[in-house]
Amino acid sequence: MGLTHIDAGGRAAMVDVGGKETTRREAVAAGRIRMSRECLTIVSENAAEKGDVICVARVAGIMAAKRAPELIPLCHPLSLTSVSVDFQLYPETSEIEAICVVRCEGRTGVEMEALTGVSVALLTVYDMCKAVDKHMEIGGVHLVRKTGGKTVEI
């Protein structure tokens, strides 16, 4: 299978999903941010000067998932039925993992929304903590699972 967002002439094109069946679709994306132990302690104790890092990052991730089509040129606007962003702290590696789950009833998947949500959630953690740790590193952003449509699950 070739690239679906390129037409026969090699030009960028939005995929026509009009003939696809409407199904329940879900995508889960995850990624991590590594930081100093001091910074992770501040986040875990809710002691950041800018406020509750996890709460703000959760809201930012949800908002970002809803706006994915405004940020990604060929992404279809979808009526999302659910977006959640959760976090897991890993003191042993001084990391925070963000997990974004997006659902809809539609004709195309919600992978881009989930990946956008997790990315912006992690960027928000970075923004809120950069005064404490200027060497944080975001990585490992990936699609964990998708269901719905032709692809039952990956």
**pLDDT one-digit tens code per residue, 7-35:** 667 777 677 677 678 889 999 999 999 99
Q: Which of 16, 52, 86, 127 is catalytic?
A: 127
pLDDT at residue number 88: 98
Residue 1 has pLDDT above 60, yes or no: no
Ordered by where they begin, the domains of the chain are: 23-147 (3.30.70.640)
Q: What are phi and psi of 110, to 5 degrees?
A: -115, 25
Q: What is the pLDDT of residues 29-39, one digit of tens each?
A: 999 999 999 99
Query: CA–CA separation, 78 vs 110, rounded Å?
Result: 8
Contact 112, 4 (CB under 8 A): no
Q: Give the global pTM.
A: 0.90
Query: CA–CA separation, 127 vs 121, rounded Å?
Result: 10
Burial class of residue 23, CB neighbours in 10 A (0-12, 13-18, 19+): middle
pLDDT band of 154, cuts 50, 70, 90: low
Q: Is 86 a catalytic residue?
A: no
Query: CA–CA separation, 53 vs 18, rounded Å?
Result: 40
pLDDT (mean) for 136-142: 98
